[in-house]
Amino acid sequence: MEQLPRVDPLEDPYLALRTALVVVICTVMSEPLGITMVMLPVAIGMSMVSNQRGGLNARVFAGPIILPVVAVVFSWIAAMTVNEPFLFLLVNGLLAVVGLALMLFRGSRGGMLLTVFPAMMSVSAIYSDYALAGIRDAMVMGGILVGVAATIANILFPPTTRRIHVENPTPLDSESPFAELAIRVVVYFSTLVATFAIGDMTLLIVPIMMIFVCGEPDHGGRVEQVFDRGLGTVVGGVVATGGLAIYYLVPQFPVLVLLLAAITYFLIEGMSWGRNRPQFYQYVCSVALVMILSSITGANSAFEVVFQRIVLTMGIMLAGIALLSLLEAIFIAPKPRRSAPLPA
């Protein structure tokens, strides 16, 4: 997939403001719309809008349209197959193969749809029918809410450029592409099956983090993933802890909304001016928003949410990289070194 380019403030000076407005709308409107998992539309809305590059086009609004459809389809598949273990594993395995192939060979974001969302629905289906219905409804209503919020934000604070951004993904460059795919499918699918066996919704982050490691076409990009998502989780945990400390001093809903808006604005602004890669600031923002909302609306304490997210993210990414490197060293021959030409 394409590395998210830095935001040009001359082309889009309002990206941070637009993203913060979407977060505010999603936070305020989730409860009236009956969305129990508030963090889903908030995090998805933040991610989709902050991914926006260049002028307005149909692709900007494709995500909110696709999300409800994906939620309904994959929740139905999970519900229909969860009581048939062989079929359940077969469907998830085939989706993993196709999704990873799209990510590796085409650099396509469509691969994420075929891996992340089926994993979310399948783990929820194993946990309980109520959990599956909850996450499905949150994604359906959340997609609609994000679409409306993104439309309002783009009308009020549109990009100043009309240049249409064309993605330039970097696919896998390997002399053994199918072996590379097989290794990554084995590592990811084993993680997914282990999560199924445990049946704990709090471990849903484990296969999701693993797909980011396994779906990275560039071997060097794995280190960048650890930095962006690993260190980003730690920094996001620190930001969330500070935000929760302020909220618990004044536990009022307007204070929560202002905190989420301020965190979003300053972190997304870093995508234009920060020294690190844009993905780092986006991921720190996502982690901070999810941790704050999970701590306030969930059953676990703030310390449990922050500590568990940091340990799971760092642990699974380091384990995934180590396992992939080991299997690649065993089953994939190293590229032959090109010898320097002999002097005449």
d(CA 328, CA 5): 30
Q: Which domain holds residue 225?
A: 15-162+174-331
Instruction: Return the pLDDT at 14.
Output: 93
pLDDT, average across residues 120-135:
92
How would you class 173 by CB atoms within 10 Å of its CB: exposed for 0-12, middle for 13-18, buried for 19 or more? exposed
Instruction: Examine residue 9 and state whether it is found in any structural domain, yes or no.
Output: no
Instruction: Return the pLDDT at 243.
Output: 94
Amino acid at 133: A
Of 4-13, 56-65, 72-81, 311-320, the least confident: 56-65
Grade residue 69 by pLDDT with cuts at 50, 70 and 90: very high
Name the more confident of 29 and 298: 29
pLDDT, average across residues 51-56:
81
Q: Are 151 and 22 in contact (CB under 8 A)?
A: no
Number of folded domains that form the chain: 1
Instruction: Examine residue 7 and state whether it is found in any structural domain, yes or no.
Output: no
Q: Are 104 and 177 in contact (CB under 8 A)?
A: yes
Please provide the DSSP assignment of 3-29 as one string: PPPPP-TTT-TTHHHHHHHHHHHHHHH
pTM of the model: 0.87
d(CA 290, CA 304): 13
Q: Which of 166, 206, 182, 238 minimizes the C-alpha distance to 318?
A: 206
Instruction: Examine residue 8 and state whether it is found in any structural domain, yes or no.
Output: no
pLDDT tens digits for range 307-332:
777 788 878 888 888 898 889 888 88
C-alpha triplet 215, 220, 223: angle, nearest 5°: 85
pLDDT, average across residues 270-295:
90
Instruction: Examine residue 339 and state whether it is found in any structural domain, yes or no.
Output: no
